[in-house]
Every structure is written in C-alpha cells, then in structure tokens.
C-alpha cells in the first residue's frame, strides 16, 4: 500500500537528483540508464525513498495518454530495464509487488529529501552542506512525457532551491555578524550561483567591496545586479539596493592605510620635482666637456638650491602654496561589447570629455592615459577611467578618477542618458566633477 515504509537498504548509496544535468549516484558515474523513461521512473521513486509507491500513480504520470493496462505494461518493461541498469549499485535496490514499487533508500540518502532537514537545522555546518548540495534543476534536458510530471519536478526543484536560499541567507547573516567578511562574500557568491537575481546577495557583495575600499568593484557588482534583474525579471533593483548605489557615488573613500610614512603638508600643497630631467643631464654633460671645475660648480650650485627649496617647503611656518594645475591623464573610453557601443560612439564620448575637462580652470589634459612626459618626468596628478555601456539608444557612462601618486580612486560617478544627448550627459558629469576638482586643487 502506498505510504508503507519498507526501507532496509545499503546506507552508503547517495543519490543526487538536483544536479542541473543527469541523475548522479555517487561512485557510479558510468551507469547505463537505457533512455529517458527509466530515469524518470527512478526520479519518481527517489522522491519517495523507502516508501511503496502505487504502480497506477507512476503509470499515470509517465503514460497519461495510455489506458491503464497498457500503462502498467509499459511500467513493467521500464522497471526491468531500470533494474538491469542499477545492478552495479545493488541487486535489490528496487522492490515491487503487484500494486506498488519501492526504492530501498532512506530520505537522508537522496539530496532532494535531505535538503529540507539540513535547512531546518540552523547550524553553520548544515547550512554549508545545503549550499554545496544544490546543483540545479532536476533532469532539465529531458523531454517529459506529461505536463504533470514536468510540473512536479519543477515544483520539487523550486521548493529545494527556496530551502537552500533560506539557509544561505541565515548563514550570510551569521558570517556578517561574526565579521567573517571573506566567508560572507563566498556565501553571497554561492547564493548568486543558485539564484542570480538574489538582491540580498548582490548587496552583500557590494558592501564587501566597499569594506575593502574597492569602489570600482562595488559599482561593477551593482551593474551586474541591474543587468540580471532586467534580463530575468524585467524589473529595476529595489529601493534598498538603489540607496546603497547612491551612497557609493556620494562618498569619497579615505586613503588606504598602508603603513607608509606620511608626506609633509607643505610638500603636498607645493610639490617639488628634484628628479633630474634628460635636459638637465645634457647640461651637466656640456659642463663636463668644458672642464671638471665648471662641472663641480654646476653640481654644487644645483644641490645648494635643492636644499634651500626643500627647507623652505617643509618649514613649519611656511604658507601652503595652491596647486595651479591638476594634470589629468585621460585614458581611452572602454566600451561595452554590445553592438550599440560603436567605436564612433566611444570616440564622440572621448572628444566631449576632453573638451569639457580642458574648459575647466586649473586643469591640463594628457591624452591616451600617459603618465610621463617625453623627458621621463612625472607629470600627471590624476588619471581617469571611463566605461561606456548601452542598450538600444540608452547609454550609461561610469567615470572614475584615480590619484596617480597613491593609486587610490578618489572620485566616481555613474550617469544614464541617451546617445542623442551625449553632450547633455557630459554637462551633468562635469557639473559634479568640476567642483570636486576645484576642492582637490586646494
């Protein structure tokens, strides 16, 4: 009778139905299933391990258009084929009588049955086991013989996925509470493998990047969240996720504490270049040709002047001198591989960006992302990275500004607009970037 517990089985067998591919019996990867119907019958039995399942129930699911006698006959043939294929696992794995069929396993031996127990435990170890166990949908590549069995397998997959996500969210909160940031990031990534639209996991990774001072990584994670929500659900991120994005754009990160000695304020506000240029070295060569005495005098005078200037710069009572120019190394725009992000569109954006920056006071622009002049002297104080994404006529431009000396990102902004109004979009960027550059120059 259906529902009777008749297990009494080999405890070492482990069945995985939720693999995103074929059924897997651990230790027996080379089983010959003899087609799709034996697999489907086995999956039905495995979802009720140790329980006698009605023959009529299985036959009705797999052969819904056949009469009862034909369906039961088909089931007998399928069970014969299935037993032969499962002989490497065990001769008595499947038992049957006139009315029922049973797979002699315990629920803990089948992943779809075990996940509910693991998720309910609320321990770190069991939650991690549940996350590792879920691999994907049941038999997604097989053509199902009936809508009822297809819906049944989808229902089981969705239920198990929900249980695992619930356990994963609990584990994520535990890791965050215990300040296990790297482990929290790993859990969040695993949650996104299972459910790419999980906004809680996306936000956890955004926060992870922010804690590490990686604003670019945080912005990229937000972009991935936006893209997957649009692709899979055709929705925008939640208000909580968008608030987090606005916070990223409004906050300027602090400098990295890397243990290096601090630079005197006077040197920061009035930088001194004491690295000899190629032009200066050529002058010394000419002096050397004129005689050792002139060469010695030239070097002595140069060193004396350098010492005097350095002392004046680091004097405690010295007045900070304003920096007259911010020299920005403007790198080429990095365009999204989408067809709408054409080279000409990227060039138009580069031209607008160059013109807008040059129009700002106290700004000089180096093209091509260069950091040194032909003499080899360091010149750029800031450098930019600009990314262009598009969807149809809509564009998104992300601009990052990095300090050349420290390698830190000191400003970032993300702007949406249309291809037809790139100039207006650039006006918005400069309206935000210009005042910041003026403050940075002081």
Residue 258 is given by DSSP the state -
For domain 1-179, which CATH number applies: 1.10.10.10, 3.40.50.2020, 1.25.40.10, 3.30.350.10?
1.10.10.10
276 burial (CB, 10 Å; 0-12 / 13-18 / 19+) is middle
Q: What is the pLDDT of residue 377?
A: 38
User: Would you list the DSSP string of 114-155?
Assistant: HHHHHHHH--HHHHHHHHHH--S-SSTTSPPS-HHHHHHHHH
Q: What is the pLDDT of residue 256?
A: 38
Q: What is the pLDDT of residue 371?
A: 41
Give backbone dihedrals phi and psi of 423, rounded to 5 degrees, phi first: -65, -40
Q: What is the mean pLDDT of each run of 10 residues along the chain (442 residues)?
A: 49 92 89 90 95 94 91 94 91 92 94 90 92 94 91 93 94 93 95 96 94 88 93 92 88 42 31 42 51 54 50 47 62 73 78 77 62 44 82 83 79 84 83 80 66
For domain 326-441, which CATH number applies: 3.40.50.150, 3.40.50.970, 1.10.287.110, 3.40.50.11830?
3.40.50.11830
Q: What is the rounded distance in angstroms from the CA atom of residue 127 to the CA atom of residue 169? A: 9
Domain ranges of the chain: 1-179, 196-251, 265-314, 326-441
């Amino acid at each position: 009778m259906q529902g009777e517990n008749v297990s009494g089985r080999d405890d070492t067998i482990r069945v995985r139905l939720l693999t995103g591919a074929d059924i897997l019996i651990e230790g027996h990867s080379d089983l010959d299933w003899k087609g799709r119907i034996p697999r489907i019958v086995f999956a039905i039995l495995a979802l009720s391990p140790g329980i006698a399942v009605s023959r009529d129930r299985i036959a009705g699911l797999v052969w819904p258009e056949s009469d009862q006698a034909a369906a039961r006959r088909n089931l007998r043939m399928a069970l014969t084929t299935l037993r032969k294929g499962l002989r490497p696992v065990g001769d008595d794995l499947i038992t049957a009588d006139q009315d029922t069929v049973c797979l002699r396993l315990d629920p803990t031996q089948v992943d779809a049955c075990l996940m509910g127990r693991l998720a309910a435990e609320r321990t770190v170890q069991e939650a991690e086991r549940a996350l590792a166990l879920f691999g994907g949908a049941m038999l997604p590549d097989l053509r199902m013989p009936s809508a009822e069995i297809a819906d049944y397998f989808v229902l089981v997959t969705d239920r198990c996925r929900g249980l695992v996500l619930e356990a994963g969210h609990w584990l994520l909160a535990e890791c965050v509470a215990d300040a296990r940031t790297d482990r929290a990031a790993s859990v969040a990534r695993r949650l996104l493998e299972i459910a790419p639209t999980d906004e809680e996991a996306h936000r956890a990774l955004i926060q992870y990047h922010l804690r590490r001072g990686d604003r670019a990584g945080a912005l990229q994670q937000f972009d991935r969240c936006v893209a997957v929500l649009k692709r899979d659900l055709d929705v925008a991120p939640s208000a909580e996720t968008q608030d987090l994005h606005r916070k990223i754009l409004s906050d300027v990160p602090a400098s990295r504490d890397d243990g290096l000695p601090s630079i005197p304020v006077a040197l920061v506000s009035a930088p001194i270049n004491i690295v000899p240029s190629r032009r200066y070295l050529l002058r010394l060569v000419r002096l050397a040709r004129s005689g050792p005495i002139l060469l010695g005098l030239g070097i002595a005078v140069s060193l004396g002047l350098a010492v005097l200037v350095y002392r004046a710069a680091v004097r405690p009572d010295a007045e900070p001198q304003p920096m007259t120019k911010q020299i920005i190394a403007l790198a080429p725009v990095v365009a999204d591989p989408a067809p709408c992000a054409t080279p000409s569109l990227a060039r138009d954006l580069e031209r607008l960006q160059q013109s807008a920056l040059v129009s700002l006071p106290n700004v000089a622009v180096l093209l091509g992302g260069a950091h040194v002049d032909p003499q080899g002297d360091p010149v750029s104080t800031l450098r930019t990275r600009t990314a262009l994404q598009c969807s149809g006529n809509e564009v998104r431009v992300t601009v990052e500004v990095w300090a050349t000396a420290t390698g830190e990102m000191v400003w970032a902004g993300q702007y949406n607009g249309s291809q037809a109004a790139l100039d207006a979009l650039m006006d918005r960027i400069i309206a935000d970037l210009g005042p910041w550059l003026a403050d940075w120059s002081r």
